[in-house]
Amino acid sequence: MAYLTINNLHKRFDDHVVVHDFNMSIEQGEFVTFLGPSGCGKTTVLRMIAGFETPTSGHIRVGGEDITHQSPQKRGIGMVFQSYALFPNMNVTQNIGFGLKMRKCDGAEIARKVAEVIKLVELSGKENHYPHELSGGQRQRVALARALVVEPRILLLDEPLSALDARIRKNLREQIRDIQRRLGLTTIFVTHDQEEALTMSDRIFVMNQGRVEQEGRAEMVYTEPATEFVARFMGNYNLLGAAETQRLLGLNINGHMAIRPESIHVLDAHSQQADTLAGTIRQHQLLGNIIRYQIESAGVTLQVDRLNRTASDLMPAGTEVRLQISRDDMREVR
Amino acid sequence: MPTSPDSVTHCPPEAGQARKRLAPSALNWLGVVPFFLFALLFLILPTATLMIGAFQDANGHFTLGNIAKLFDDSILSAYWISFEVSAASALGGSLIGLLLALAAIQGGLPAWIRPTLMTFSGVASNFAGIPLSFAFLSTLGRMGLVTVLLRNYADFDLYSTGFSILSFIGLTLTYLYFQIPLMVLIVTPAIDGLRAEWREACESLGGSSVAYWWHIALPILWPSILGSTLLLFANAFGAVATAYALTGSSLNIVPILLYAQIRGDVLHDQNLGYALALGMIVVTGLSNAGYIWLRSRAERGRE
């Protein structure tokens, strides 16, 4: 039986439906991500799980217990906020120990647990610092420690890395994932960053306009997008309309054809391989380890990514090439 | 030192550029000249005059006699009454103003309440002096509208309780009229600074609403509340027109004593008046310094 289940969750603000018929179930210890653009309803769902918003209808159950209308204090669900939400009048130790104090733990127990979690998030030496004396990454680790120390049933992370710079973000996401695995903590992570979702999650729920567009394991959501929206949101997919697909590939489809840029093979113009298309490089962009080409074929411009292995790999604009696209790498989407 | 022809040739354009660079800056300064002129003529020069005058006798000779007179029983008593009125109106004003602002901002009241309260506070905090005194005399005076209505329709004689608009209570009540809205205006930005996530974080960690206010919101607001109370204290301590218009000489507070020393026929001693004013400056200056220090502390904590 799933640990957290959400059934037919709706949320309406006046006439505006923010979450529409949201359903999900999570196993204990799973790391799940709600991925979607701003305003898609992912944070609202998270806030309903935390108890900060009341659903218009639907049910939320944890371990079989219906918590839909329970107060946030009684849910035992930890939350890490995008803006850290550290109490500015308390130092690191006091911030982390606050939840234990509210649970009436004795001083010695608070001190022991706080020390343990400070070590876990690698903040030793910062115990007496106030939030304004810490960097963004350190603040977010305090917020994480504060949520972890009370041993929540579920940990909610609301875009916790979006206010941090790229290097710290990368380190912290690895640290969060590592801690989550070690503690076996059921975790829901909210982000609009595909890379973050793909690198951290067991499962991803891609959300759009208050609905789940697609749900599945990270690698599946990336390689097998179910809808045009997911294909567009998950990467730089080439999305061909029905007419373009017919012209380029000779296939008749109703929706769109999604082709990942890295799945298109660029061959020499004189290649004798079968089932290839003639193309001309129109532009290239150097993205570090990737070279991104815009290649025109049968009047359709395709984006193609190639590994940048040597300087000679770079093909200038105007170069004639042949393109090979495997049928397995093409995905028809709604 | 010989000057090369080149340097001579280059000098005029450079000087011209310097003039061009200075011109806009000078114009910018021109904009604040009226302020500095006003401050010089109506704040700095009068303050300097009274500070010097406080240490001079009637013949212009140096003396500490005026300062020594500040410790006479009658003057100390005037300072004490002034302190009591100011403290009472500051504490009352800050408490009521804080509760009012909290209710309007965080109380879940209809949206129109807040702008209405702010507009009213902006006007009421500047309503003082003779008009305010007249308003209170005509409502809570012995023959005031409210007094008469209470007597005629509620069978309640306000003045039989010992209340008098010309007393300590009356003056404190009158001061509260501008102290409460002033507190609303000062403390509103601090309350706005309380982030919703702090309450939510507290709740998710098992804290109740009482715990939120006791452990988080009040400690965060505390420097702002204390600082605002000091500002209200200074505001009341320096108020003269309202007190004079309302109570005349029936209440012995420092501004009225000061007024009597400078303008009075019987008690006229201008230099003692300067010393009294210096004492007021010290008290209000300390209050304002406390306010500024506490405000900067509150802001630093929120970074």
pLDDT digits (tens, 9 = 90+) for B97-121: 999 999 999 888 999 999 999 999 9
Q: Predicted confidence band at B22 (pLDDT cuts at 50, 70, 90)?
A: low
SS3 B82: helix
Q: Which helix (H) or strand (E) holds A215?
A: strand A211-217
Mutation to test the A interface, candidates B199, B204, B214, B303, most A Cβ within 10 Å: B204
Given a contact cutoff of 8 angstroms between Cβ atoms, the answer to whether B257 and B75 are in contact is yes
pTM tops 0.90: no
State the DSSP code for A235: S
Separation CA B53–CA B66 (nearest Å): 9
Closest Cβ–Cβ partner in A88, A103, A132 for B220:
A88
Does any CB of chain A come closer than 8 Å to the CB of residue B207?
Answer: yes
Region A91-119 average pLDDT: 95
The rounded distance, in Å, linking the Cα atoms of A11 and A55 is 5
| Distance separating alpha carbons of residues A306 and A151, to the nearest angstrom | 46
> Cβ contacts (< 8 Å) between B205 and chain A: which residues?
78, 98-99, 102, 146-147, 150
For residue A150, give the chain B residue with the closest CA: B205
Region of A175 on the Ramachandran plot (φ > 0 left; ψ -120 to 50 alpha; else beta): alpha
Residue spans of alpha helices (H) in B125-253: 130-140, 145-153, 168-192, 196-204, 209-211, 218-237, 241-247
**Contact check, Cβ <8 Å, B201/A81:** yes
Any A CB within 8 A of B214 CB: no
CA distance A112 to A130: 20
Is the per-residue pLDDT at B18 higher than 70?
no
- The burial of A295, by beta-carbon neighbours within 10 Å (0-12 exposed, 13-18 middle, 19 or more buried), is given as buried
The pLDDT tens digits for A160-193 are 988 888 888 888 889 899 999 999 999 999 999 9
Location of structure tokens 């965060």: B220
d(CA B255, CA A291): 81
pLDDT tens per residue, range B251-262 = 788 888 887 787
* Closest chain A C-alpha to B291 CA, distance in angstroms: 19
Report CB contact under 8 Å: B206, A51.
no
CB atoms inside a 10 Å sphere around CB A164: 18
Residue pointed to by tokens 């951290």: A200
Mean pLDDT across the stretch B210-216?
95
CA A230 – CA A244 distance, rounded (Å): 20
Lookup: tokens for A87: 């109490």
Token pair for residue A311?
A: 């300087």
Residue type, B37: L
Residues of chain A with pLDDT > 70, as a percent, come to 100
Interface test with chain A among B205, B220, B302, by most A beta carbons within 10 Å: B205
Whether the CA torsion B237, B241, B243, B244 is positive or negative: it is positive
Question: pLDDT for A186-217, tens place per residue?
Answer: 999 999 999 899 999 999 999 999 999 999 99
Other C-beta atoms closer than 10 Å to the C-beta of A122 total 12
Q: Could you give the CA distance from residue A150 to residue A227 in angstroms, rounded to a whole number?
A: 40
DSSP helix/strand/coil, A152: coil
Residue B264 confidence class, pLDDT cut points 50, 70, 90? low
Tell me, rounded to whole angstroms, the distance of Cα A62 from its chain centroid: 22
Cβ of B203 within 8 Å of Cβ of A72? The answer is: yes
pLDDT in tens, A22-79: 999 999 999 999 999 998 999 999 999 999 999 999 999 999 999 999 999 999 999 9
Q: What is the pLDDT of residue B259?
A: 79
Query: Would you list the DSSP string of A10-77?
Result: EEEETTEEEEEEEEEEE-TT-EEEEE--TTSSHHHHHHHHHTSS--SEEEEEETTEE-TT--HHHH-E
Chain A CB contacts of B219 below 8 Å: 89
Tens-digit pLDDT profile for residues B123-136: 999 888 888 989 99
Query: Is B294 in the A-facing interface, judged by CB distances under 8 Å?
Result: no
CB contact under 8 A, A50 and B302: no
Nearest to A87 among B198, B206, B303 (CB): B198
Beta strand A290-297 with A211-217: parallel, antiparallel or unpaired?
Answer: unpaired
| Chain segment A70-97, per-residue pLDDT in tens | 999 999 999 999 999 999 999 999 999 9
Kindly state the tokens that stand for B111. Answer: 């949206």
CB of A290 closer than 8 Å to CB of A243: no
A152 confidence band (pLDDT: 50, 70, 90): very high
How far is B179 from chain A, CA to nearest CA, in Å? 28
- Mean pLDDT taken over chain A: 91
Please say if the pLDDT value at position B17 is more than 90: no
